[in-house]
Structure 1
Amino acid sequence: MIWWAVLGGGVGCYLLKLAGLSVPESVLARPWVARVVDLIPVALLAALVSVQVLSAPDPDGGQRLVLDARVAGLGTAVVLLVLRAPFLVVVVGAAAVAALLRAL
């Protein structure tokens, strides 16, 4: 049964990619389309990060909002990014702050 889901997901991804490639050039040349296409990855990444940082499993089987060391790590990463720190410094700094707060 799982293989049907894997094959169906693969075919769906292929068809989605094919649909994106078949969009006419006149549609892609519009300025607002180019702006939206540039912002979609940022919005998706922000959504993924916020769900991973702010949610935790609930004993009832759902999700719940939490504010823990991950939020402080994310805040540290934002500050370091605003200060234009190198990416490795951002990752290590955020991980260090989260680890120190968890240790306390």
Structure 2
Amino acid sequence: MSGAVAVILALAVGTYAFRLVGPLLHGRVELPSRVQELLSAGAVVLLVALLATGALTEGGGFAGWARPAGVLAGGLLAWRRAPFAAAVLAAATTTALLRAAGVP
């Protein structure tokens, strides 16, 4: 067995074990409320960082103004509890119209 296959198998087993620990320990381990709050805040920060990276960058540089404007339009509709399809369509339309108008 090559080293690459061994590393892939070790990572697969580790991933499966990590996912299995949650259901096995649920109800047995009590986290303090402050830790639960920090974990929730950490999840939000991670999602916002992923959103910002995807919305603002392309190929290691700035993606231009059309993409962030589209993401903002879709985000506003999602925040106003519009249907998901409407938010995605509004984001795509906003980006397409701005790019057609010459906005990078």
1:88 to 2:85 alignment: yes
In structure 1, how many angstroms separate the alpha carbons of the residues matched to 2:10 and 2:53?
A: 26
Please list every run of 5 or more consecutive structure 1 residues that lacks an aligned counterpart in the other structure: 58-62
Change beyond 3 A, Cα 1:16–1:85: same
Counterpart amino acid of residue 33 in structure 1: V
Residue type at the aligned position of 2:74: A
Matches of 1:83 and 1:19 in 2, distance apart?
37
Percent identical pairs in the alignment equals: 32
Which structure is richer in relative contact order (CA contacts within 8 A, separation 6 or more)? 2
Distance 1:5 1:69 in 2: 42
RMSD: 2.6
- Between the aligned partners of 1:91 and 1:84, the Cα distance in structure 2 is 12
Rg larger in structure: 2
1:93 CA displacement: 0.7
Q: For this pair of structures, how many residues does the alignment match?
A: 97
* Partner secondary structure for residue 64 of structure 2: coil
CA distance in 2, matches of 1:43, 1:75: 17
Residues 76 and 5 (structure 1), Cα distance of their counterparts in 2 relative to 1, 3 Å cut = farther
TM-score by length of 2: 0.69
Q: 1:73 deviation in Å?
A: 0.7
TM-score w.r.t. structure 1 length? 0.69
